[in-house]
Amino acid sequence: MHVDFTPKGICPSRIQFDIDENDKTLHNIEFTGGCNGNLKAIGKLCEGKSAKEVADIVRGNTCGLKKTSCADQLSIAIDEALAEM
């Protein structure tokens, strides 16, 4: 399943990734905009991992004075995608 998510309250304008419908693992995570190096690292660290596990780990992470972060928005996108499946 391909996910194209529009995040709120962060620098990136889009988060895209794939979830394997059989084992619910994450693949091809990409952020459009934001801190390029850090966001590439998030994608590499999460590649092939359980979508639920990743969402549980990064949920609630904040950035500076913001109430959310790129990682937190990724968790929201994952949660919504899993609910659709």
Q: What is the pLDDT of residues 24-53, one digit of tens each?
A: 999 999 999 999 999 999 999 999 999 999
Q: Cβ(46)–Cβ(28) under 8 Å?
A: no
Name the residue range of residue 9's domain. 2-84
Domain count, the chain: 1
Report percent pLDDT > 90 for the chain: 100
pTM: 0.96
